[in-house]
């Protein structure tokens, strides 16, 4: 179906090339409302990735983007955020059907040392009160689990990066309708969530995991919050671009696993996760937002 978004969103041209129906105004009383807190440095890429998934769903969705005022952006102009995004004050007391909180490159920073941590806590409180279901992606998953349940973030020495298959544990979860025994998702992170830290928390349930990368998705049992350690939104070339970026910085990054054909980073990867990601988002919308 289509999207109803701010006319200044930078990803509009890319979305139209993908035949996503874009609307700026009109009578969309039956459309769902989704809020996205975009914490990623490259706003355009993340806008495009998430809006593409939402725009390929089966319903019209009004999407608002949110930014944190307490952080000075380095890669995006403040003027752009002020005209294309909203602040928490502007959406105060507004109900949303769904919310997505993105990751951020902050794994090695203590939560209390993050410049916008206090504002993020207020936003998470807001989501608990005014949003039916919130998805926390990658770093946001550990931030949300720490704030909501005091579950610690565990830093690992070797980066988890690549495309991984995960066993579906929560077979009865509507998130996996249409999937059989596995779900494939990209990962790019230096942290892990340990099962012993959540074993005694009755509100949480592990829904999918992998022997290679550990817990993938866990959720509150009624779907109020869904924590995903990977990046289902990533485009085909996202991991490739991250790998090239790190090499250009003089780093020696790990080659993403199960990604480049024959581990040749000059070859265009095949997208093996898109259908699973779209199914996951469609199920989230159908069973938790509608």
Give catalytic residue positions.
138, 231, 233
Decide if 254 contacts 159 (C-beta within 8 A): yes
| Residue 48 and residue 235 in contact, taking contact as beta carbons nearer than 8 Å | yes
Q: Helix 139-149 crosses helix 117-130 at what angle (to 10 degrees)?
A: 80
DSSP assigned state of 21: E
* Overall residue count recorded for the chain in this entry: 290
- Establish whether 199 is an annotated binding residue: no
According to the annotation, is 132 in a ligand binding site?
no
CA distances from 278 to 35, 130, 173, 235, 247 (A): 18, 25, 16, 12, 31
Residue 112, exposed/middle/buried by CB under 10 A (0-12, 13-18, 19+)? exposed
The candidate with the shortest Cα–Cα distance to 107, out of 155, 40, 71, is: 155
Binding residues: 159, 188, 245
**Residues marked as binding for substrate?**
159, 188, 245
């Amino acid at each position: 179906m289509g999207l109803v978004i701010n006319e200044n969103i930078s990803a509009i041209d890319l979305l139209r090339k993908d035949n996503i129906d874009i609307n700026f105004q009109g009578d969309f009383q039956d459309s769902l409302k989704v809020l996205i807190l975009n914490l990623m440095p490259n706003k355009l890429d993340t806008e495009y990735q998430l809006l593409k998934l939402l725009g390929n769903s089966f319903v019209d969705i009004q999407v608002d983007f949110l930014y944190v005022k307490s952080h000075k952006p380095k890669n995006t102009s403040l003027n752009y955020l002020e005209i294309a995004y909203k602040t928490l004050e502007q959406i105060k007391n507004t109900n949303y059907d769904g919310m997505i909180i993105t990751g951020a490159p902050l794994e090695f920073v203590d939560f209390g040392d993050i410049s916008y941590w206090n504002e993020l806590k207020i936003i998470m409180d807001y989501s608990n009160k005014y949003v039916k279901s919130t998805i926390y992606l990658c770093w946001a998953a550990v931030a949300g689990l720490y704030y909501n349940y005091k579950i610690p973030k565990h830093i690992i020495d070797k980066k988890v990066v690549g495309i991984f298959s995960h066993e579906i544990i929560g077979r009865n979860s509507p998130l996996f309708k249409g999937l059989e025994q596995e779900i494939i998702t990209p990962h790019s992170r230096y942290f892990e969530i340990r099962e012993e830290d959540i074993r005694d928390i009755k509100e949480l349930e592990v829904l999918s995991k992998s022997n290679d990368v550990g817990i993938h998705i866990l959720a509150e049992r009624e779907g109020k919050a869904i924590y995903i350690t990977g990046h289902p939104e990533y485009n085909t070339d996202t991991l490739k671009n991250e790998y090239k970026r790190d090499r250009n910085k003089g780093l020696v990054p790990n080659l993403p696993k199960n990604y480049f054909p024959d581990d040749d980073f000059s070859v265009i990867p095949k997208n093996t996760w898109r259908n699973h990601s779209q199914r996951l988002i469609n199920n989230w919308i159908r069973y938790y937002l509608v």
